[in-house]
Amino acid sequence: MIHPGEDAAYERHVSRNTCDYHYLKVGLAFEETRPGFRLNAAHFKQLIVSALKDLHGEIGAALPFDVLKFEEETLTSILRVKSNGLVKLWSALTLLGSYQNQKCAFRVTQVSPFLLALSGNSRELVLN
Amino acid sequence: MALFADLNIVNTPDTDRKRLQSLIENAAHLGYSTVAINHVAEFQGKKQEIAKPISVTELYPSPPIVQGKSKPIKILTRLTVIVSDAAHCNDLRITSPHTRSYDIVAVLPKTEKLFHVACMTLDIDLICINVIEKQPYHFRRPSVNGAIERGIYFELAYSPAIKDSTMRRYTISNALSLMQICKGKNIIMSSAAERPLELRGPYDIANLGLLFGLTEGDAKAALSTNCRAALLHGETRKTALGVIYTVKKVSATEEKDEGTPLSKRAKTKSD
């Protein structure tokens, strides 16, 4: 905002590695469209923590991450994780194969350091 | 950028057509542009059967559309021979006209000697790394370097890692011991999926590659560029000399000349 009296100075800011967090948009897929049990946000987080523990052990399970949003109907969610824990969280999600003896799979739709970017879809740019 | 490919969709004799179709549909939805249907030949009890590959056009009159590409998925055939004895390599050579009907030929060597033979002399495209049991031998640098020089790729399958936690351990340890020798060169990662839920997206697997000790660039190449190179290697094996890609021109040359300025038109005798 330029006020009268102030001169319109041109400023250039370059920021490097300033993104503290990465955001993931993930969906959980089951063999049937509706699993026979209800899965709320707490269960969902518990599932991810156990996946982290399976792959990375106790230290992995201690990785801080947040479930920002969880939709029970579509089983989609938005996760936030510190950038240095992204690879750990993502690989744990990739290698998760079952929940309560039901086969399931995490479908990572989008990954971005900016939450705003999740509002659009980068994977299906050619839409009919 | 080369497109993503998954060179290992398992087709066992008891897999029904419907499951294979749903697997391919799922792969297309996840963003793979090329898949290869894998036929595994195991020479157990002298029952040698390198059968004809599944007819792709019969399986799919119109293949499903790849996500985000609006192009149909490309379906190939692949043969994997489990080699546990030196005699099996001979079979591979004798039946070489038979293996010709496949786009890609891979072997899974069981001993160090056979691994060396596969790397140095066998006419193949891929060497599978066993991920379901502990590697019984160490990878040796001369063999691996020979394979890299010949343009043969090493294949790591990830779906056993999803199914079982012990297999996961073997997958990671075998992968890491291979990476120590090959330094991330000539690696291909593929699914070996038998069910749709065992498939993962290409970006997920590129991230998984970081866990196996690949760099970011190598991990992505393991799904795209390297797969393409292996496919082209397979084509050179078929033609024995080289590959020539031809593009059929549909429009007549005269129509094209209309738009270009006179100075840029090809000179003809009438000018």
What is the ipTM, given to two decimal places?
A: 0.80
| Contacts with A103 from chain B: Cβ below 8 Å | 195, 197
What is the average per-residue pLDDT within B211-225? 87
Q: Which of B67, B163, B210 sits opposite A87 (nearest CB)?
A: B210
Q: Tell me, what's the pLDDT at A122?
A: 67
Tokens found for residue B5: 């490919």
Residue-wise pLDDT for A23-71, tens only, equals 999 888 887 766 667 788 888 888 889 888 888 888 888 888 888 888 8
Amino acid at B127: I
* Contact state of B207 with A123 under an 8 Å Cβ cutoff: no
Does any CB of chain B come closer than 8 Å to the CB of residue A123? yes
Q: Tell me, what's the pLDDT at B239?
A: 66
Closest chain A CA to residue B161: A95
Does any CB of chain A come closer than 8 Å to the CB of residue B203? yes
Give the percent of chain B with pLDDT over 90.
Answer: 0
* Contact state of B211 with A87 under an 8 Å Cβ cutoff: yes
Closest chain A CA to residue B172: A55
Does any CB of chain A come closer than 8 Å to the CB of residue B201? yes
Residue A37 contacts by C-beta under 8 Å, 6 or more apart in sequence? A100
Residue B232 contacts by C-beta under 8 Å, 6 or more apart in sequence? B243
Residue-wise pLDDT for A73-88, tens only, equals 888 899 999 888 888 8
Q: CA B100, CA B71: separation in Å to the nearest integer?
A: 27
Chain B nearest-CA distance from A75, in A, is 15
Closest among A68, A29, A25 to B162, alpha carbons compared: A29
* Contact state of A124 with B69 under an 8 Å Cβ cutoff: no
Tell me the β-bridge partners of A81. Answer: A22, A65
Residue B122 contacts by C-beta under 8 Å, 6 or more apart in sequence? B89, B92, B107
Chain A nearest-CA distance from B165, in A, is 8
Does any CB of chain A come closer than 8 Å to the CB of residue B268? no
Confidence of residue A5 (pLDDT cuts 50, 70, 90): low
| Contacts with A105 from chain B: Cβ below 8 Å | 197-200
Q: Tell me, what's the pLDDT at B271?
A: 45
Does any CB of chain A come closer than 8 Å to the CB of residue B95? no
Does any CB of chain A come closer than 8 Å to the CB of residue B113? no
Residue A48 contacts by C-beta under 8 Å, 6 or more apart in sequence? A65, A67, A79, A89, A92, A93
End-to-end, the C-alpha distance of chain B in Å comes to: 42
* Per-residue exposure over B241-271, b if at least 16 CB sit within 10 Å of its own CB, e if not: eeeeeeeeeeeeeeeeeeeeeeeeeeeeeee
Q: Which of A28, A87, A94 to mutate to test the interface with B (most CBs of B within 10 A)?
A: A94
Does any CB of chain A come closer than 8 Å to the CB of residue B205? yes
Closest chain B CA to residue A104: B197
Residue-wise pLDDT for B160-211, tens only, equals 778 888 888 888 888 888 888 888 888 888 888 888 888 888 888 889 888 8
Closest among B57, B39, B13, B12 to B95, alpha carbons compared: B39
What is the average per-residue pLDDT within B44-51? 56
Q: Of A8-12, A68-72, B12-16, give the lowest mean pLDDT range.
A: B12-16
Residue-wise pLDDT for B92-130, tens only, equals 665 566 677 778 888 888 888 888 888 888 788 888 887
Tokens found for residue B23: 């697997």
* Contact state of B204 with A87 under an 8 Å Cβ cutoff: no
Q: CA B126, CA B14: separation in Å to the nearest integer?
A: 25
Q: Which of B70, B198, B200 sits opposite A126 (nearest CB)?
A: B70
> A81 with A56: CB under 8 angstroms?
no
Q: Tell me, what's the pLDDT at B243?
A: 58
* Contact state of B197 with A29 under an 8 Å Cβ cutoff: yes
Does any CB of chain A come closer than 8 Å to the CB of residue B19? no
Does any CB of chain A come closer than 8 Å to the CB of residue B72? no
Q: Of B26-40, B105-119, B254-268, give the lowest mean pLDDT range.
A: B254-268
Does any CB of chain A come closer than 8 Å to the CB of residue B220? no
Does any CB of chain B come closer than 8 Å to the CB of residue A31? yes
Q: CA A19, CA A24: separation in Å to the nearest integer?
A: 14
The answer on pLDDT for B240 being more than 70 is no
* Contact state of A97 with B208 under an 8 Å Cβ cutoff: no
Report the relative pairing of strands A65-71 and A76-82 from DSSP bridges.
Answer: antiparallel
**Helices and strands in chain B, H and E counts:** 12, 7
Does any CB of chain A come closer than 8 Å to the CB of residue B135? no
Q: Tell me, what's the pLDDT at B262?
A: 53
Q: CA B92, CA B123: separation in Å to the nearest integer?
A: 9
* Contact state of A95 with B208 under an 8 Å Cβ cutoff: yes
Rounding to the nearest 10 degrees, give the CA dihedral for residues A79, A81, A86, A90: -30
The alpha carbon of residue B102 and the mean position of all alpha carbons in its chain are separated, in whole angstroms, by 11
